[in-house]
Structure 1
Amino acid sequence: MARNSAQSRRLDVLRAIVTQYVATREPVGSKAIAAGGLGVSSATIRNDMAVLEEAGLIYQPHTSAGRVPTDRGYRVFVDRLAQLKPMSAPERQALETFLSESVDIDDVVERSVRLLAQVTHQVALVQYPGSRVRTLKHLEVLAIAPGRVLIVVITTDGEVGERTLTLDTPLDDAQLRAVRDHLRTHCDATTSQTARSCVDAATASSRPELAAAVVAVGSALTEVLTGAGEAKIVVAGAANLARGALDFRDIAPVLDALEEQVVLMRLFSEADPDEDLHVSIGAENPHDALAEAAVVTGTYRAGADESGGSAHLGIVGPMRMDYARTMSSVRAVAAYLSRYLAREADN
């Protein structure tokens, strides 16, 4: 019992250090923690701080200073957050009002990323819902030059996608029509979830001299329906990060990383789509430039049900951040985006 009590108290000390350091950016001493009402003496707190330091959860930046959290300390703090700070009623109302004025998906994404940057005071990222299910309505294959063809894909929701291909073996108009018709037969009303299997079936049953073209056109069809290569992330609030430059030894690599869509997509790929929130801290991040940063990501649904796929949004900031408030804000905006897209899918 006494051991559990000591462990619980040390977690309270760690929580106090994180909370006060986030608020002040100043190392936290035992007297400041004792004044916060833990109900134990400064001497006991100093002993607890020594144990926490030995465990690698806090460190002393210089002699005679208080303690600051390590990335491991922040991780333990986040993992033991009992609850997230809910947004206040006025904040939630402001969020709902601001986002409800969106006129289309581009507008709601732009509004979401700006709002998230404003309420968290960090860099905000919102991924377009490119993984939603698309259903084929019409496929066209047009010759534009010898060996060059244009693939036009129209979905049931009116989206038009185009791809230009160079065929290994040029085909005449009759052969191109045969390729088109063969794929139409096998892939009529196919979706982004079934496109690959219907193309495989079409390839297996195609005439040998057309097989390569069926594969090429079928790959283009699949790419358009699945949105492959079209992932897009909108970023806002880089100035917030610049204002917090004191929290980084060198902020330039962080800013450079935020300009790379590949880096941002990799950040989101680390998130489990079944988790509504994911937090990576310091060295846990998959990119070296973010080794001093924290990333909080949320998942939103891109349709009315699970078949609609998912996309992500989040923030990037220093490890010294208000995690509870930031996580709550990310969750709230993700929930609104899910509701917005569900309504759009029903209309």
Structure 2
Amino acid sequence: MSRPQKRPELNERAQHLLKVLVERYIYEGQPVGSRALSRDAGLNLSPATIRNVMADLEDLGLITAPHTSAGRMPTVSGYRLFVDTLLTIKPLQQEVVQQFRREMGPLHDPEEIVETASRLLADVTHMAGLVSLPRVETVTFRMIEFLPLSEQRILVILVTNEREVQNRIISPARRFSPAELTAAANYLNAVYAGKDLNAIRTSLLQELQSTREQMNQEALHAAEIADLALGSREARKRKPFVLAGETNLMDFDELASMERLRGLFAAFRQKEDLVHLLDRCLESTGVKIYIGEESGYRALDQCSLVTASYGIDEQTIGVLGVIGPTRMEYERVIPLVDLTAKMLSAALNQKALTPS
């Protein structure tokens, strides 16, 4: 995790040369030599002067020479200084903005909105996009409605926490008549409105298993349908985040070794470390950036994570972001993550206001 630390004092020339070096390294992925730096910097400086400045930057821990190469590359501290003070944010291309609006705007299911946001982040950045799912401690049941469809399928409309609406289709083992569905919905709404959703399903299943013979037909139907209708939501709650584009990371040389990929993919599968990291991001507003070992997790030592929070009714409920190499194009990724968070919030708020 990034910690406040004393920032090296650099004069304007050193800052400019560091900025050029980082930008060139991000673009090419190769250590930058003094000759290339002199050519790109646009300053009337001798090669000796450039080498002296680079030596000073190396002494300050901002750049390093990998192996025996004469070129230099930024360290985590160099990236941090670059991101915090030297970065020039690029405006997003209107085509990208329109693409996000076009693909996220018409969606109605909250989970589909989240999955689309993750996929778009991965597609546009060519890195890994992830979105944490809202972590609600208590889900309060408000109302449920069952609408019969064809071929024994039933549309479930579930309202929770005042305004959150979930639509899903279930396929019970037998056919329920419209009258049976109406009676089951009326029973659930009358008996369980205002109660915790998890507790409702647990209670119904216990009754179904232990007192099936004594249950009236209305309650029996309600328990059978609720097992499907409410159970699918619980399965989704156990998934902490949606991840897309993880294989994009194989295209970056610094991440492409089998050992490093194994560590990354293991972290994606096990989830705990990423969940803890995303939880830390929930605590701050705006865009949050972890560079290399700042995350505190070894699997991410060669990666950066750029995140922003999203929410409903000005309440933060989740985090989204991009995982890529430390030499990612921060000037492009940062505004993209910020835009996606705002669009996801807008889409979820609009969904919350639309009960049908």
Give the TM-score normalised by structure 1.
0.69
Aligned-partner SS, 1:129? coil
Query: Partner residue of 2:21?
Result: 17
Matched, 1:275 2:280: no
Matched, 1:232 2:240: yes
1:333 aligns with 2:337: no
Q: Deviations over 1:25-45 (max 9, x none)?
A: 111112212222442313222
2:351 corresponds to which letter in structure 1? E
2:130 paired residue number = 125
Which of 33, 50, 62 is equivalent to 1:57?
62
- Percent of paired sites with the same residue: 31
SS in 1 for 2:321: strand
Give the equivalent residue in structure 1 for 2:118. Answer: 113
Q: Would you say the 8 A contact 1:59–1:70 is kept in 2?
A: yes
Query: Which residue of 320, 323, 329 maps to 1:316?
Result: 323
Gap regions ≥5 residues in structure 1: 139-152, 161-183, 193-224
Counterparts of 1:47 and 1:99 in 2: how far apart (Å)? 51
Corresponding residue for residue 262 of structure 1: 272
Task: Give me the whole-angstrom Cα distance separating, in 1, the residues matched to 2:83 and 2:104.
Answer: 28
Take 2:55 and 2:127, find their aligned partners in 1: how far apart are those partners? 32
In 1, distance between residues paired with 2:141 and 2:107? Answer: 27
Cα pair distance change 1:267/1:274, threshold 3 Å: closer
- Distance (whole Å) between structure 2 residues aligned to residue 268 and residue 33 of structure 1: 37
Query: Matched residues in 1 for 2:86 and 2:29: separation?
Result: 20
Per the TM alignment, residue 243 of structure 1 is displaced from its structure 2 partner at its CA by 1.4
Counterpart secondary structure, 1:27: coil
Q: Is 1:304–1:341's contact at 8 Å kept on the other side of the alignment?
A: no
Q: Which amino acid aligns with 1:256?
A: A
Deviation at 1:62, TM superposition (A): 3.4
Change over 3 Å in CA distance of 1:229–1:129 after alignment to 2: closer
**How far 1:274 moved relative to its partner?**
3.5
Q: How far off its partner does 1:129 sit? A: 2.5
Counterpart in the other structure of 2:313: 304
Q: Are positions 1:291 and 2:301 aligned together?
A: yes
Question: Higher relative contact order at CA 8 Å, sep ≥6: structure 1 or structure 2?
Answer: 2
Residues 191, 40 of structure 1: CA spacing in aligned structure 2 closer, same or farther, 3 A cutoff? farther
1:123–1:315 contact (8 Å) kept in structure 2 = yes
Change (3 A) 1:16 1:190: farther
Q: Quote the offset at 1:228 in angstroms.
A: 12
Q: Deviations over 1:126-160 (max 9, x none)?
A: 1122349854538xxxxxxxxxxxxxx98344669
1:137 aligns with 2:159: no
Distance 1:98 1:127 in 2: 19
Q: Residue type of the partner of 1:33?
A: L
Matched, 1:241 2:245: no
Measure the CA separation in 1 of the matches of 2:58 and 2:91.
31
**Residue from 24, 32, 40 that aligns with 1:36:** 40
Task: Go from structure 1 to structure 2 and tell me whether the alpha carbon gap of 1:298 and 1:31 turns closer, same or farther (over 3 Å shift).
Answer: same
Number of matched pairs: 274
Residue type at the aligned position of 1:25: G
> RMSD of the TM alignment (CA)?
3.4
The letter of the residue matching 1:282 is G
Q: Which runs of 4+ in 1 moved over 3 A?
A: 130-138, 153-160, 187-192, 225-231, 245-249
Q: Do residues 8 (structure 1) and 25 (structure 2) align? A: no
Per the alignment, residue 76 of structure 1 pairs with 81
Say which of 24, 31, 37 aligns to 1:27. Answer: 31
Structure 2 vs 1, CA of residues 27 and 128 (structure 1 numbering), >3 Å: closer, same or farther? Answer: same
| Matched residue, 2:148 | none
Q: Give how far 1:189 is off.
A: 4.8
C-alpha distance in structure 2 between counterparts of 1:322 and 1:6, whole Å? 23
Amino acid aligned to 1:31: R
1:342 to 341, 346, 349: 349
Is this contact kept in 2: 1:132–1:310, CA < 8 A? no
TM-score (norm 2): 0.68
Q: Is the 8 A contact 1:113 1:125 kept in 2?
A: yes
Q: Evaluate the alpha carbon distance shift between residue 87 and residue 96 of structure 1 in structure 2; reply closer, same or farther with a 3 A threshold.
A: same
One-letter amino acid of the counterpart of residue 294, structure 1: S
